[in-house]
Amino acid sequence: MRETNALVLFSGGQDSTTCLYWAKKHFENIETITFNYGQRHSSELKAAADIAENAGVPFRILELPLLNAITENSLTRKDMPIEVFTGNSTPNTLVEGRNMLFLTYAAIYAKSKGISNLIAGVNQTDYSGYPDCRDTFIRSINVTLNLAMDYEFIVNTPLMHLTKAETWKMADELGVFELVRDKTVTCYEGITGNGCGICPSCKLRGQGLEEYNKSKIYQNG
């Protein structure tokens, strides 16, 4: 039996779109929420709105301009070059506190709607140096949100322990492979679909897609 209500933290990217359709499989009623925090490109907001409309789910944008005002990173500052994560230091694509704020605001909104389940597309398997994508952080903030609001939230992270290839596999099994491939915005340069092919996000996405396509050929061969 499926659960009743869920709120998807939705960016219009590969991971959150896969989570949206995962949610549609597991919950009766879905809402989506996205955040305009001064990100480098507005194309992801448009992609999110279009995909939510295609999925037939309510879509809401919350404005968070303060985040851009108090932290410097290459995802909100066009004059900063995008660095590749080497494992030696935190990449400058990290938006400090972003997932913590997103989950907090999403939880406030969800409680007002009587929604307990929050769904986030964070992942620690293909780690990119973002501490707020780790399972330990998610479990910690889940407890904090419950205590702060005296409410039983459940933060669902269906991609947490999947590789990018396995995330492509999930999208395919959910019947949205082409949608995720062609309509999402994962690229740090804001280019839809396969993106620029150069930025760290595109490389990770592309490597996962290539790995998944090879596995399908092997299985079918």
CA nearest to 110, candidates 122, 118, 121, 102:
118
Say what angle helices 135-149 and 98-112 make with each other, to 10 degrees.
40
Residue 87 lies in a domain: yes
| The two structure tokens encoding residue 44 | 């992801």
Residue 154 lies in a domain: yes
Longest alpha-carbon distance in the chain: 54
Q: Give the CATH number for residue 62.
A: 3.40.50.620
pLDDT attached to residue 39: 75
Residue 184 lies in a domain: no
Total domains present in the chain: 1
**Adjacency order of strands within the sheet including 3-9:** 59-63, 27-36, 3-9, 117-119, 154-156
For the chain, give the percent of residues with pLDDT over 90: 62
pLDDT tens-place string over residues 95-114 = 667 888 899 999 999 999 99
Range of the domain at 117: 3-162
- Using DSSP bridges, classify how beta strands 154-156 and 59-63 pair: parallel, antiparallel or unpaired: unpaired
Q: What is the pTM of this model?
A: 0.88
pLDDT tens-place string over residues 3-16 = 689 999 999 999 99
Helix (H, G, I), strand (E, B) or coil at 108: helix
In this predicted structure, the answer to whether residue 17 has a pLDDT above a threshold of 90 is: yes
Question: What is the pLDDT confidence band of residue 57, given thresholds at 50, 70 and 90?
Answer: very high
Residue 168 lies in a domain: no
